[in-house]
Structure 1
Amino acid sequence: MAAARIYRRKWVLVKLPVALGALALMAWLWLSFMPMPPRHLTLSAGLPDGVYYAYAQRYAEAFARQGVHLEVLASEGAEMNLQRLRGTASPAADLAFVQGGMGNVGVDRTGVARLETIARVDNETVWIFARTPGIDSVEQLQGQRVSIGPRGSGSRRLALALFEQVRMGAKDIVDTEIFGKAAAAAMGRGALDAAIMVSAPQSSVVQAFLATPGVYIVQLKRSAALTERLPYLQVRLLPQGALDAAGKQPSPPRDTAVLVTMSSLVARADLHPALQRLALDVAREVHAGPGPFHRAGDFPTLRRIEFPASAQARQTLVHGRPWIEEALPFFWAQLLLRLLVIVLPVLLLALWLVRVIPAYLRWLVDSSLARWYGELKFIEYDLARASMSGLDRVKYLQRLEAIERNMQNFATPGYLMPRWYTLRQHIDFVRARLYKGRGR
């Protein structure tokens, strides 16, 4: 009987396969549904002298404290950052800072990675610096030497969008292709007439322009109309002296209306969920402070986003990270979580199976022996009748032979050997009685 043979070798035929199957199931679930997060990430930031790059360095420090190495990639700006996220520029990036208004740049629904917003992280000002006082429209920059940022930057794209509102283009200015601190120096020596850039007030480039003598901050007229046509822009008031109240002349010298846009931390949608939660937590650490245009705690946020919100980031923003990630170091928390969710349930299932399957096989084995005992008891009951015919006796003898053949093929477990020998003795006893009554 197959059940008896399997039961006799249950360690090899039952328990070992269950253990191997449990290990295989754990590995499959671990690798397919809950893989461990990678220990290396890349973040595409911005120019090395820009505020994005400075933020990225703080991100790298915060990630390093959690055991994740964050590689910071310098870039020409937000457009290049998007290309790296989508995998259309090398090297590819997992995270990137993206300027407001870039949500529809280079959109291709096929063959590119899907992107999600981790959070809006900061307000950025649209700065227009000029050497000529009294400029209040981008139309007045026509024919002048203007820095509008490197190709692939969000500053350049926004500057061109401002030109489009007054039916201008890059051909209507002299594009010097000088940018950053070099543009501030060029403006100081008269080699540049104006500069348009998008950056936070604390940027070293902005500070370089503000420190250059003879450079003015342009306040655009009809700025409210621009925000209607470019909804990713907002008008904010930059108070007098907000940038340098202690200088000989406060900067700006008077209250100035400026355009601002919000920058975002954007990730590939396939970024590990735990790393998305960690990225939001790091963003909260870096950007939670106040700024010229926002109060402490306003950032990070998921208001007015241009890419779909990360579900993990939204949950973390509302409820915080899971308690296990708050209580333990990041990778220890991930390991313990998988032990609780995958290893423990599969282990309990395996332990249950290695008890239930042998018990079921033992029941089958015991049932076979009990069935033979029952048949033997039935024969003995008929023997007690005085009217048993010779044909019946022949039939019962044949049945006893069949039971013996089955017993010979029966791989009897050790614990059943006493009952097996007792059954053989009973069979011999009943056969003797059958033979004894044949002559009657």
Structure 2
Amino acid sequence: MTLTRLFKLPATVSSFAAAALMAVTLGASPAAEAQTQRLAFSGGPDGGTFQFFSNGIATLLSRSIQGVEVSNMASAGSVENLRRVNSRDADFGIVYSGDLFLGMNGRLTNDSNRYRNVHAVAYMFGAPAHLIVLEGSGITDVAQLAGKKVAVGPAGSGAAASAQRFFESLGMWDKISPQFIGYSQGASALGDRQIEALWVFAGFPNASVIQAASSNRVRLLQVYEASQKGTLATDHPYYAKVTIPAGTYPGVDYDVVTIEDGALWVAGRHVKEDDMHKFMTNVYSDEGMSFMRSVAKAAEAMTIENALNGIVTPVHKGAQKFWAEKGKTLTDAQK
């Protein structure tokens, strides 16, 4: 049966119209659709550094590589990203090195699953702990938070997990009242005196910490000093010492010595090696790096020199190839 008879075209319809109709009909086939490679990047909560980075890379790859469309997914953060990428609900994510290590070994809090389908791609930035209180609260030491309400980040986030590890190492997790809310909401709650402290685990300067410090006189507690009084260094050796310089936040005119975990770009094992190499070549080009630094100041740490910092788990095969070309040597744990 001809296309004209199938659609009962009147005799007055020109052969041009019939050809156009056939083109539209054939264009609805899956072939054209298959030309676009659709991928998902799982980021973080609104106002957090994760979301800036995931949206930045998603935008960069979508604009720069023909036939690739990367969508940015909002997320509770690190642990949720780990689970999404492992189950292929997302192709990329941002996961703390500690969560990736613990997840691969079945040691996440209340979760003995082993997440083996998630591979590291690169160190993106250090995520230091900020522990903020109001200057007028009289709180100058972490031990004084016993019995207090502390915003620790959304449930399932890397921030909340890190807060639990930190306070557990001091024997204080069951002594504080953790509030599982996001950074922006936590900054507002601190200013409204609904909580006594805000834990933010993200690159600096962080927008929500700036929000809190711009609206109130705040104090950042010395987290590293407190951590040395507990078992954190023994239980979680991937945490490193880092300094947030004086002047980073309004009214904070002193260095804050704290702990950090590396925020890593991760990819599912299912992402093809050649594709991963192509994506990294794009992101780590001069144009790509310039774009990322325009998106987030913390991207200044996203360098070839720092690329494998803090990674103690396997690196994606495509990333291994890329870093080898850049002269990087992988450890046995990273291979």
Taking structure 2 as the reference length, what is the TM-score of the superposition?
A: 0.73
- 1:351-391 per-residue CA deviation (whole Å, 9 max, x = no partner) reads xxxxxxxxxxxxxxxxxxxxxxxxxxxxxxxxxxxxxxxxx
Q: Determine the C-alpha separation between the residues in 1 that align with 2:40 and 2:302.
A: 28
Q: Determine the C-alpha separation between the residues in 1 that align with 2:308 and 2:72.
A: 24
Q: Match of 1:41?
A: 39
- 1:192-246 per-residue CA deviation (whole Å, 9 max, x = no partner) reads 10011211113322221222313211113244564454222111222221345xx
Q: Match of 1:96?
A: 93
Unaligned runs of 5+ in 2: 1-33, 107-111, 327-335
- 1:206 maps to which of 209, 223, 239: 209
Question: Quick check: 1:143 aligned with 2:142?
Answer: no
- Change beyond 3 A, Cα 1:106–1:144: farther
Following TM superposition, by how much is the alpha carbon of 1:125 offset from its aligned partner in structure 2, in angstroms?
1.4
Could you tell me whether the CA contact under 8 Å between 2:105 and 2:114 is conserved in 1?
no
Could you tell me whether the CA contact under 8 Å between 1:146 and 1:174 is conserved in 2?
yes
Q: Determine the C-alpha separation between the residues in 2 that align with 1:243 and 1:111.
A: 39
Q: Match of 2:156?
A: 152
Mapping for residues 169-184 of structure 1, pairs under 5 Å: 169=173, 171-184=174-187
Q: Determine the C-alpha separation between the residues in 1 that align with 2:155 and 2:182.
A: 11
Could you tell me whether the CA contact under 8 Å between 2:277 and 2:322 is conserved in 1?
yes
Question: How many equivalent residue pairs?
Answer: 275
Q: Report SS of the residue matched to 2:164.
A: helix
Could you tell me whether the CA contact under 8 Å between 2:121 and 2:267 is conserved in 1?
yes
- 1:378-416 per-residue CA deviation (whole Å, 9 max, x = no partner) reads xxxxxxxxxxxxxxxxxxxxxxxxxxxxxxxxxxxxxxx
Q: Higher mean Cα deviation, 64-73 or 273-282? A: 273-282
Question: Quick check: 1:255 aligned with 2:255?
Answer: yes
Q: Determine the C-alpha separation between the residues in 2 that align with 1:312 and 1:210.
A: 42
Unaligned runs of 5+ in 1: 1-35, 321-440
The one-letter code of the counterpart of 2:168 is E
Following TM superposition, by how much is the alpha carbon of 1:309 offset from its aligned partner in structure 2, in angstroms?
1.1
Q: Determine the C-alpha separation between the residues in 2 that align with 1:156 and 1:50.
A: 13
Q: Match of 2:324?
A: 318
Mapping for residues 37-436 of structure 1, pairs under 5 Å: 39-64=37-62, 65-67=64-66, 68-87=68-87, 92-102=89-99, 103-105=101-103, 107=105, 114-131=117-134, 132-137=137-142, 139-169=143-173, 171-220=174-223, 221-224=225-228, 226-244=232-250, 249=251, 252-284=252-284, 285-286=288-289, 297=303, 301-319=307-325
Following TM superposition, by how much is the alpha carbon of 1:86 offset from its aligned partner in structure 2, in angstroms?
1.4
The one-letter code of the counterpart of 1:203 is N
Q: Determine the C-alpha separation between the residues in 2 that align with 1:63 and 1:45.
A: 15
Q: Determine the C-alpha separation between the residues in 2 that align with 1:72 and 1:292.
A: 19
Q: Determine the C-alpha separation between the residues in 2 that align with 1:48 and 1:311.
A: 31
Structure number with the higher helix fraction is 1
Could you tell me whether the CA contact under 8 Å between 1:43 and 1:94 is conserved in 2?
yes
- Change beyond 3 A, Cα 1:114–1:153: same
Q: Report SS of the residue matched to 1:209.
A: helix
- 1:42-88 per-residue CA deviation (whole Å, 9 max, x = no partner) reads 1110112211111122112211110210011111111111111111x
Give % identity.
19
Q: Determine the C-alpha separation between the residues in 1 that align with 2:55 and 2:228.
A: 35
The one-letter code of the counterpart of 1:80 is E
Q: Determine the C-alpha separation between the residues in 1 that align with 2:240 and 2:65.
A: 36
Q: Determine the C-alpha separation between the residues in 1 that align with 2:114 and 2:132.
A: 40
- Change beyond 3 A, Cα 1:292–1:66: closer
Following TM superposition, by how much is the alpha carbon of 1:312 offset from its aligned partner in structure 2, in angstroms?
1.8
Q: Report SS of the residue matched to 1:242.
A: coil
Q: Report SS of the residue matched to 1:146.
A: strand
The one-letter code of the counterpart of 2:97 is G
Following TM superposition, by how much is the alpha carbon of 1:291 offset from its aligned partner in structure 2, in angstroms?
6.2
- Change beyond 3 A, Cα 1:106–1:76: farther
Q: Report SS of the residue matched to 1:172.
A: coil
Could you tell me whether the CA contact under 8 Å between 1:224 and 1:235 is conserved in 2?
no
Aligned Cα root-mean-square deviation (Å): 3.0
Structure number with the higher strand fraction is 2
Could you tell me whether the CA contact under 8 Å between 2:124 and 2:301 is conserved in 1?
no
